[in-house]
Structure 1
Amino acid sequence: MDAMSRIETARSLFLCLKRQNKSKHKERWLGEVKTFESDETRNVKYNKKQS
């Protein structure tokens, strides 16, 4: 197996797994984004109170 076919095989496997887990990752990613935004908002409000 040459390097290009190994890369193509890995890419195909990755895309297949990505497709299977897409909704799970999307929900997890959105949850992380919401958490980050709420933490950032909390920090901004806290910093304004201190000023």
Structure 2
Amino acid sequence: MSLQPTFKDDPTVGPYNHAFVIGSEKTLSFTTQGMIDQMLEITRENGDGHGGH
């Protein structure tokens, strides 16, 4: 499953994903929240991360 949006040159013009998750930290752990956040975060198309922009 690929949810992660990508950008070529400028992350500010890329697509963005949003997620609304309802529940307490007892039903949805911080680890799970972090995993969802990481899946949705925009990343460089070539896989180099944010450092080169």
> Relative contact order (alpha carbons < 8 A, sep ≥ 6): 1 or 2 greater?
2
Considering the TM-score relative to the shorter chain, is it more than 0.5? Answer: no
TM-score between the two structures when normalised by the length of structure 2: 0.32
More helix by share: 1
TM-score between the two structures when normalised by the length of structure 1: 0.33
More strand by share: 2
